[in-house]
Each structure stands twice: as structure tokens, then as C-alpha cells.
Structure 1
Amino acid sequence: MFKHLREDVKSVFHRDPAARNTLEVLTNYPGLHAIWIHRISHKLWGWGFKWIARSLSTFARFLTGIEIHPGATLGRRVFIDHGMGVVIGETAVIGNDVTLYHGVTLGGTSWQAGKRHPTLEDDVVVGAGAKVLGPITMGKGAKIGSNSVVVKDAPANSTVIGIPGRIILASA
């Protein structure tokens, strides 16, 4: 567990040049606080303690301004920068080393049971205000431009911008 906490702190220093020291990161990065609380609520969710998990998630949202459903699956070294207004839905899956900026929504497009939120593979970056909606996949290393609305899959190492999101760069 402490190994993962150290990884999280180290990932902040790799991705945020404004990070000055460990104490500052531990005490002043709400994205980390939201992720750490989510890890606990996700375990509780998996053990069947749904109400407690949702209550803890609500507390985290109150504390940080970041809403992560306890059913969502987050990888290692996920970095939520600035964070206010980030929403991550119940069936979202986020890979390792993903970066989300403020105002990002990983939302659903239906009220049906089952997979209805996006999957972000490893190393994806989602710009401020972007919405990634539905049971779609953003491939490894994909970049989503700020304020884009993405409703279709994006291949690995692609760049997606606009409303609706369109691929402007795809690696060969």
C-alpha cells in the first residue's frame, strides 16, 4: 500500500513542475486525496458495502470537488491535476499513468445496466473540460484536447479534438 502512495507522490513530481516538495504534495493536491479515498471506497464497493462506499465517495467529492464513483476502476499513478469538476462514472476503467485535467467527465450515454462509461488505456491524457462519453476506448497514449466531446473510440497514440471529437493525428 505504501509503495503505491509513494508512486502517486512521485508521479506528481514527474507531471507537475509546480510541485515543490513532498509535504506540499501530500497536503495540497486534491487529486491525490480523491484517488486515495477512492481506493478505499472501491475496496468497500467490491466487498459489497455499497452504501458505505457511496458515502465515502460523497465525502471525497465534498472535500476535493472530484467525483469518482466507487465502482470505477483506476490504475496506478493516475494524476488528476487541479481536479475541480472531474466526474468519473461507475463503469469507467482508467489505465496506468493516465492524466486528467479539471472539468473532465468520463460519463455514460445510457441508463442501461452494464458497461456504459469509457475505458482509458495506459498513458492517456485528457485535457481540461473534455467529455469522454459512452462505452468507448481511448487507446494507449491517446491525447484528448481540452473541451472536446468524444463519443467514438480513439486508436493508440492518436490526438482527438473538437465537438464532436475527431482524430487529427494518428500514429502509423
Structure 2
Amino acid sequence: MADPNENEFLDDLEAMEAEIYAAAEEEIDDEALELDQLRAERDEFKDRFMRALADAENARKRSEKDRREAENYGGSKLARDMLPVYDNMKRALEAATDEQREVSGPLLEGVELTMRELLNVFKKHGIEIIAPEVGDRFDPQAHQAMFEAPVPGTKAGDIIQVAAEGFMLHDRLLRPAQVGVSSQPAG
């Protein structure tokens, strides 16, 4: 027969063992919960980091685009203000008669040189002339119709007169060419 003290000792031992297992399981559950919380926090920080990285990259691209646009188009107001200077110099050169060229040759030569230099500066800064010819088709992307008139021998939409040349600054319209357009019905 087993000793009652031995049975009591075994029961106490089993109870202590159960307590130890319960405490260990509780500690394991607490550590697993803490580990899950740390993983969730890590994932949140990783997501925030990736978003911040993407935002920084987008800001870099945006600032690069803004810098390029400022470089290419920052002087568009000055360029637009210089166009009447070109127009006036061109009109002055076109208005000079042969007599005036004989009398004021050096002066007109100076104006021509200044005009060439102005065109070189335009080219250097990406300004190109839009020079339509009589008979070309009207293009609303590059031309501004100043008037319409029926002209025999033309089709509707043909350019019948060029009042002023237009200008492009790189790929942007600085000023449309000012033209007269035929309204002659096809027939």
C-alpha cells in the first residue's frame, strides 16, 4: 500500500507541474502576442517608409520637371516682349527702298546685322519662327485668323495673306502667326 504522504506529495507535485506548465503557456502566449504586435508595428513602419520613399521620389521628379520647365520657359515673358522688336525691325528692312539703301547703306546694314543677331539669340534660346506662306492650309494650332475673305482660285481654309509671323518657344506656342484666310466655298 502506498504511503498517504507519498500520494499527497505526488498530487502536490502534479499541481506544481500544472502551475508551471500554465505559467509557461501564459508566458509563451504573452511573448507570442508581443511578437505579433512587434511584427504589426514593423509592417506599419515599413509601409510608412515605403510611402515616404515614394513621396520623396515623386517630389524629386516633380522638382526636376519644374526645373526643366523654368529653364526652357522661364524667359517666355521676355521673349514675348521681344517679338514686337523683331516685327518692327523686319518692317523697317522691308520698307527700305533701293534709293534709301544707296543713301543709308551702312545704317541699313547695321539694322540687318542687329536683326541677324536677334535671330541668333532667338535660336540659342529655343525660339523658332512660324512662317506660313500664302497658299498654305490654316492650322489653328499655329495660326490666328485675323480675317476671312472670299478669294477666287483658293479653297476655304487657305492662307491668303500673312500679317505677322508666329513664334514657338521649344514646343510651346509663343505667338500664333497672324494670317488672313480664304472663305471661298469649294466649287
Q: When the two structures are superposed, what TM-score results if normalisation uses the length of structure 2? A: 0.24
Bigger relative contact order (CA 8 A; separation at least 6): 2
